[in-house]
Amino acid sequence: MAASSASPAPHVVHAPAHAAPLKGIASGLLGAHAGAGLRIGIVHTQWNAPVIDALVAGCLRELHAHGVARSDIVVEACPGAYELPLAARLLLRSPLHLRDAHGAKHGLDAVVCIGCLIKGDTMHFEYICEGVTQGIMRLNADTETPVIFGVLAVLDEAQARARAGLEPGSHNHGEEWAQSAIKMALMRRKLLAIF
């Protein structure tokens, strides 16, 4: 008996008409009070101020929207992106930020590092990107505290403005970084039994 030469039909999955965009964190996974009681730090650069200001504002809006109290958010600035890893480490270790609004000792649950690197004509962009990326990654491993990589690495100012929500129809990535901070802080508390 001869084997059938017809191959089986490929399995096709049809997306619903209302499918979510492919990029970004799925919305609706955090409740309105998911961040209540968390202490979040934001450290941002001073370069490219209009973009940074918009990203920090987006991050703050999203933290507030999920119940993180204003008194539980610490915001600090550093000169540039290369300084972000050290600034985040100092923020995590600072005795100034180890007490919550009620005076109880409680360190930061997560830090969001916000910066914007725009490619120029030299290799400076690549070196800074690599150093910042490795520094933030190392902080996560060394401190066991979520340190969120909120650094735009873009080719031009238009890309930076679009990712900061400053162009019509664009999206502010600061919102997603806030969601990541909350999710990772909650995961850390759950898995390390921190209350």
Q: Using one digit for the tens of pLDDT, what is the confidence trace for 28-39?
A: 568 889 999 999
Query: Is residue 21, in this structure, part of any structural domain at all?
Result: no
Query: Is residue 130, in this structure, part of any structural domain at all?
Result: yes
Among 145, 137, 131, 130, residue whose Cα is nearest residue 184:
145
Q: What is the mean pLDDT of residues 171-184?
A: 97
- What does pLDDT average to over the chain? 88
Give the Cα separation of 103 and 171 in Å (integer). 37
pLDDT at 177 over 80: yes
Give the Cα separation of 52 and 44 in Å (integer). 7
| 169 burial type by CB count under 10 A (0-12 exposed, 13-18 middle, 19+ buried) | exposed
Residue 150 pLDDT? 98
Kindly report the three-state secondary structure assignment for every residue of 65-93.
Answer: HCCCCHHHEEEEEECCHHHHHHHHHHHHH
| 41, 91 Cβ separation under 8 angstroms | yes
Residue 21 pLDDT? 55
Residue 98 pLDDT? 60
Single out the catalytic residue among 11, 64, 66, 124. Answer: 124
Domain of residue 54 covers: 40-191
The total number of structural domains that make up the chain: 1
Query: Is residue 78, in this structure, part of any structural domain at all?
Result: yes
The per-residue pLDDT for range 66-123, each reduced to its tens digit, is 999 999 999 999 999 999 999 999 999 987 766 555 666 678 999 999 999 999 999 9
pLDDT grade, residue 195 (50/70/90)? low
Residue 95 pLDDT? 77
- What backbone torsions phi and psi does residue 147 show, to the nearest 5 degrees? -125, 110
Give the Cα separation of 40 and 111 in Å (integer). 6
Q: What is the mean pLDDT of residues 173-186?
A: 97
Supply the CATH number for residue 145's domain.
3.40.50.960
Among 62, 181, 89, 146, residue whose Cα is nearest residue 54:
62
| 150, 59 Cβ separation under 8 angstroms | yes
Distances (CA, A) of 149 to 9, 110, 144: 43, 11, 15
Pairing of strands 73-78, 110-118: unpaired
Active site residue 11: no
Query: Is residue 15, in this structure, part of any structural domain at all?
Result: no
Query: Is residue 166, in this structure, part of any structural domain at all?
Result: yes
The pTM of this model reads: 0.85
Query: Is residue 128, in this structure, part of any structural domain at all?
Result: yes
Q: For the beta carbon of residue 41, count every other beta carbon within 10 angstroms.
A: 26
